[in-house]
Amino acid sequence: MAFNITRTGPLNIAYLDDPAAEELAEYLVAMANTDGGTIIIGADAKGNAMPNPVHAEEFEGTLHSAETMCRPIIQASWESQVVPGGAAIVINVPKSIELHSLEDGRVLVRANKENKALTGEQIRHLSATKSTGDFETQTANGAKRSDFDDDVIAEYLEKREARQGKQLDIDIDEHLQHIGALDQDGNPTNAGVLCFAKHPQFLLSHSDLLFVKFAGTDPRGADGAVGYGRREEISGPLPHIIERAWKLILEEMAISATVSGLTREETTEYPKAAVREALVNAVCHRDYRLSGRRIEVRMFADRMEIISPGGLPGYITVDNIVEEHFSRNPRLVSTLFQFGYIEELGLGVDYMIEAMANAGQQPPKFEAKPHSFTVKLFNNRDRRPTPTWSNSMNERQTRALTYIREHGRITNREYRQLCPDNSPETLRLDLVDLVNRGVLLKIGAKKGTYYILK
């Protein structure tokens, strides 16, 4: 008995007997991360039915659940086939241009007919070898070089030269090819359209941004009915979307002022640095392949929500979002970096957390769903008093807090210098204890780790 299947790899074929959604998701991730593969459910390698009968109606729900357990979602094709003694389901899993993980953050590949979990270093290596930015370099359907805005290109070149401190001695179109805005034939790519086209939304209609402000804490108008106080749709190339959205948010943010002597200081409702990082991250890292969805900025009385279409890319989870960095759109990120909207690559989340903490506000809340990622920033209205822990701290921890108040932060190395008579492990546990009790926030990872007051 020969199955009517297209095998995507000699080793990437698995025979399963009525798997649960969790088990099936592991195979989807492992095969998509490798060379694709085929999953046969309900039949063995000889083509004979397995003991548990397979019902197509029930299986469809299991497959859908398994697909949504993958980050980002994997969509596989399947068909039902009659085999001796029953029926079988044949699933074809395509090789993916993205790095996929499970809900718990595990990244799997197929190795020796098994699903193997990768270590952190292996994950980074795999992510470096995958063409995650293929959508960016695809030729934009119907786009022409004349669709580009020469003024936007000139603005980009001027800012890039200023950042690098030297003039770019290169043909403009040759440079646009180099950064992935044009393909080798001189046709605009999706990345080029998003960054430089006069009217990107004519070609990628879902690439605009929606701003909505609500009077209360729910999506309702001032009279309690469903509605909003202000609604703006912002279109154009991505650099202009960022700038226009930023100005609009500044207009709508509450501003307070304090006077000390002859100096008047203004404080915005949310730290400017945190809002800007959240906005730029949403524009940089959204999944532009998803049509019918756009970036949304929602302002409520107690919070701001910035929603980006597409789940977290690759192996990034809410739990490792500070330590790990992965870019779905590396060319967009690089271009917006040259425009000056990104100060340092890979540190947007760190800056966001630190800005909120330095302003005395609670850390951002990250919410990841299969088709969206949301950053929530909360203002200080109805803020609970900050707990004090001085009575339960040891002498070393008190010394660390004094150092942070004077210098703004502390590293493990600086803590060891403060307390040279204690072991590094004891001092590490001191800092872990302060983080767990909500006194400190841990920023960065490995040698770049430091701690600030929460």
CATH code for the domain of 427: 1.10.10.10
At 325, is the pLDDT very low, low, confident or very high (cuts 50, 70, 90)?
Answer: low
Total domains in the fold of the chain: 4
317 has a pLDDT exceeding 80:
no
Do 255 and 374 reside in the same domain of the chain?
A: yes
Do 314 and 217 reside in the same domain of the chain?
A: yes
Considering only residues 389 and 287, tell me which one the structure prediction assigns the higher pLDDT. Answer: 287
State residue 8's pLDDT score: 36
Residue 387 to residue 440: CA distance in whole angstroms: 12
Strands (E), 118-186: none
Residue type, 401: L
Do 117 and 144 reside in the same domain of the chain?
A: no
Do 48 and 117 reside in the same domain of the chain?
A: yes
Residue 62's CATH number: 3.30.950.30
Burial grade of 210 (CB within 10 A; 0-12, 13-18, 19 or more):
middle
With respect to residue 70, please indicate whether it lies within any of the assigned structural domains: yes
State residue 442's pLDDT score: 87
With respect to residue 50, please indicate whether it lies within any of the assigned structural domains: yes
Q: Where does a domain end: 378, 411, 437?
A: 378
Do 317 and 430 reside in the same domain of the chain?
A: no
Do 32 and 58 reside in the same domain of the chain?
A: yes
Contacts of 159 (CB under 8 A, 6+ apart): 338, 339, 340
79 has a pLDDT exceeding 70:
yes
Do 263 and 361 reside in the same domain of the chain?
A: yes
With respect to residue 2, please indicate whether it lies within any of the assigned structural domains: no
- List the 303-309 sheet strands across, edge first: 230-234, 209-213, 295-299, 303-309, 372-378, 365-369
446 has a pLDDT exceeding 90:
no
Q: Where does a domain end: 144, 166, 198?
A: 198
In whole angstroms, what separates CA 406 from the centre of its chain? 34
With respect to residue 1, please indicate whether it lies within any of the assigned structural domains: no
At 261, is the pLDDT very low, low, confident or very high (cuts 50, 70, 90)?
Answer: low
Residue 159 to residue 421: CA distance in whole angstroms: 50
Q: Where does a domain end: 358, 378, 398?
A: 378
State residue 245's pLDDT score: 96
At 226, is the pLDDT very low, low, confident or very high (cuts 50, 70, 90)?
Answer: low
Contacts of 265 (CB under 8 A, 6+ apart): 257, 258, 259
State residue 220's pLDDT score: 65
258 has a pLDDT exceeding 70:
no
State residue 408's pLDDT score: 80
With respect to residue 7, please indicate whether it lies within any of the assigned structural domains: no
Percent above pLDDT 70 for the chain: 87
Do 26 and 121 reside in the same domain of the chain?
A: yes
Do 327 and 348 reside in the same domain of the chain?
A: yes
With respect to residue 17, please indicate whether it lies within any of the assigned structural domains: yes
State residue 385's pLDDT score: 45
Q: Which of 19-28, 199-208, 335-344 has the lowest mean pLDDT?
A: 335-344
389 has a pLDDT exceeding 60:
no
Whether a cis peptide bond, with omega within 30° of 0, leads into 72 is yes
Do 269 and 407 reside in the same domain of the chain?
A: no
Do 61 and 81 reside in the same domain of the chain?
A: yes
Do 83 and 141 reside in the same domain of the chain?
A: no
130 has a pLDDT exceeding 70:
no
**Cβ 254 vs Cβ 268: under 8 Å:** yes
148 has a pLDDT exceeding 80:
yes
State residue 396's pLDDT score: 86
143 has a pLDDT exceeding 90:
yes
Between the alpha carbon of residue 285 and those of residues 138, 205, 230, the distances in Å are: 17, 17, 26
Residue type, 207: S
Q: Which of 121-130, 213-222, 294-303 has the lowest mean pLDDT?
A: 121-130
Radius of gyration of the chain (CA): 26
Residue 349's CATH number: 3.30.565.60
Residue 165 DSSP symbol: T
State residue 230's pLDDT score: 86
Segments forming the whole domain that contains residue 148: 136-198
